Chains A and B, each alone.
Chain A
């Protein structure tokens, strides 16, 4: 069986600057993989490359054996790649429930004409979408906030909502950009318990993380980048004993996170 994601020799150059140099790795179905590296190591660039925001300068990206290199962000979403953003990004003027309904877009029949006429079957579809969205909210334990506007949410709930929107697309591959960053210890634990529990039951997860405690406690495997090159690819637990990784992080306080 093909791995869910294959990154093959991906390079990305901005002008003369190499942000990624021939990075290769695979993610197996059901895996929870951490992408680790100091600031500026190229994690976000790699994320954007996989998510179709910025196509690679060289190399290939395969999704379950199919080449998806250079596909647009919305085309990739339709193929089952979902993501969150480093800065909390929501549909700010919509309610929590409406946010998740938008996340269901790829499962929506547009049927504009039915909608203009307000046909019963269209209203039935709409009702079913709301039900599915409720299901996702319940899964992440934020259903109580369903009618609040997204821009009024506290950070902890807002970050859970970003995951809910992504999860609503029912992805094969979910890319989470620092899901626990900025959260209190308790909030981060709640988030990571959900990611490692309910979320990964449903899809393969790749997450960017700085915090070694989280990587070690929750992830199966880690890929470490430094200056755009892969310097480690192996068990998450072995990370802190690898001399190359320790060198890369030497003096960085987050090691003991």
Chain B
């Protein structure tokens, strides 16, 4: 993306709350949540790992913030970095143990992790049990809580832009380039033989992804005003994967495109319950079967098909 395009997009995001209806702003906030999660998930997919329980890290961030503010009376502002930190610590431990597994084995390990996280919160009343914890406070600015969509939009925007900027730039660092050498076991052996500490890099990248995911999770809980084990469960994990796949895994903007479009569409379908899942899954299947490069690949495919001059 050129500097001009980035500037235009940023400007649009800054102007948006001044012109949008509260409902449109609500959709924008949810889009920002999902786009950030999906970009973070993509950072892990990019090194050949399918994180099938990524919502577990949203839950860790969200619950950390909620427990701190509701149970222990800590400021909701402080809860935001704390949530990211806790998600990062868990990612560190889990990544060190499981990132040497590959393919389906890693995917299932992280899937199980996501299930354990929600089962854990469900099992203990102090963590809210199956019903979760209501009455989550939002942070205050100059003594006024950020109660309206307009007010709460800003911290969400800041975390989304910072998170996405970090994830985007990271790809083009030497660290980010080295991650591409770790996609298969064979290639990883070669990487180690030229001095790339594969395990450390993979874990570090996983931690970065999960810190950003967990940090956004804290804001998500504050926005919803509650947490429960269902919202950040396996459905959320598979939704994120669907966004990424539908958008296309060939580049950074595919998953973001997929998350943006499907979330905006999903918000329109939300009132009709299971139709949303059905529509998501149907779109996913169509993309996997007939458009393997995802929506991001659509312009190229159309050009190739209709032979339009470039």
B13 at the binding interface (Cβ < 8 Å): no
Measured CB to CB, the nearest residue on chain B to A169 is B194
Among A51, A93, A126, point to the contact of B174 (Cβ < 8 A): A126
How many Å lie between the Cα of A116 and that of B163 in the bound state?
12
A118 at the binding interface (Cβ < 8 Å): yes
- Interfacial chain A residues near B267, Cβ < 8 Å: none
Measured CB to CB, the nearest residue on chain B to A175 is B193
Among B173, B180, B193, point to the contact of A73 (Cβ < 8 A): B193
How many Å lie between the Cα of A70 and that of B187 in the bound state?
22
> Which of B35-43, B127-135, B137-145, B195-203 is the contact stretch?
B195-203
How many Å lie between the Cα of A106 and that of B193 in the bound state?
10
Whether A115 pairs with B174 at a CB distance below 8 angstroms is: yes
Contacting A at CB under 8 A, from B153-193, are 166, 169-170, 172-178, 180-181, 183, 186-187, 189-193
Whether A168 pairs with B172 at a CB distance below 8 angstroms is: no
A77 at the binding interface (Cβ < 8 Å): yes
- Interfacial chain B residues near A78, Cβ < 8 Å: 195
- Interfacial chain B residues near A108, Cβ < 8 Å: 174
Q: A108-B174, A115-B175 are in contact. Are A85 and B195 (CB under 8 A)?
A: no
How many Å lie between the Cα of A91 and that of B176 in the bound state?
14
CB of B198, distance to nearest CB on chain A (Å): 7
How many Å lie between the Cα of A108 and that of B201 in the bound state?
14
Whether A102 pairs with B191 at a CB distance below 8 angstroms is: yes
How many Å lie between the Cα of A98 and that of B170 in the bound state?
17
Whether B194 pairs with A168 at a CB distance below 8 angstroms is: yes
Whether B187 pairs with A91 at a CB distance below 8 angstroms is: yes
Whether A105 pairs with B196 at a CB distance below 8 angstroms is: yes
How many Å lie between the Cα of A66 and that of B246 in the bound state?
53
Whether B186 pairs with A89 at a CB distance below 8 angstroms is: yes
How many Å lie between the Cα of A102 and that of B192 in the bound state?
11
How many Å lie between the Cα of A105 and that of B195 in the bound state?
6
Whether B183 pairs with A102 at a CB distance below 8 angstroms is: no
- Interfacial chain A residues near B173, Cβ < 8 Å: 110, 112, 115-116, 122
Whether A77 pairs with B181 at a CB distance below 8 angstroms is: no
Output the residue of B166, B186, B192 with the most chain A CB within 10 A. B192
- Interfacial chain B residues near A103, Cβ < 8 Å: 194
Output the residue of A51, A106, A108 with the most chain B CB within 10 A. A108
How many chain A residues touch the partner (CB < 8 A)?
Answer: 38
Contacting B at CB under 8 A, from A52-109, are 53, 72-74, 77-78, 82-83, 85, 87, 89-94, 98, 101-103, 105-106, 108
Contacting B at CB under 8 A, from A98-149, are 98, 101-103, 105-106, 108, 110-112, 115-118, 122, 126, 129
Whether B197 pairs with A74 at a CB distance below 8 angstroms is: yes
How many Å lie between the Cα of A129 and that of B173 in the bound state?
13
Whether B174 pairs with A110 at a CB distance below 8 angstroms is: yes
Among A82, A98, A118, A165, point to the contact of B177 (Cβ < 8 A): A98
Among B176, B181, B193, B197, point to the contact of A82 (Cβ < 8 A): B193
Among B178, B183, B192, point to the contact of A77 (Cβ < 8 A): B192
- Interfacial chain A residues near B170, Cβ < 8 Å: 112, 115-116
- Interfacial chain A residues near B192, Cβ < 8 Å: 72-74, 77
Whether B194 pairs with A105 at a CB distance below 8 angstroms is: yes
Q: Can you list 24 A-B contacts with CB-CB less than 8 angstroms, sorted by A residue number?
A: A51-B193, A73-B192, A73-B193, A74-B192, A77-B192, A82-B194, A89-B187, A93-B180, A94-B181, A102-B196, A103-B194, A105-B174, A105-B178, A105-B191, A108-B174, A110-B174, A115-B170, A116-B166, A116-B169, A116-B170, A118-B169, A126-B174, A166-B193, A169-B194
Task: Name A's B-contacting residues (CB within 8 A).
Answer: 51, 53, 72-74, 77-78, 82-83, 85, 87, 89-94, 98, 101-103, 105-106, 108, 110-112, 115-118, 122, 126, 129, 165-166, 168-169
Extra 8 A-B pairs, beta carbons < 8 Å, given A93-B180, A115-B176:
A85-B189, A91-B190, A101-B177, A102-B178, A103-B194, A106-B195, A116-B169, A116-B170
A-B interface, 9 closest residue pairs, ranked by CB to CB distance from nearest: A115-B173, A77-B195, A106-B195, A73-B192, A74-B192, A116-B169, A89-B190, A78-B195, A74-B197
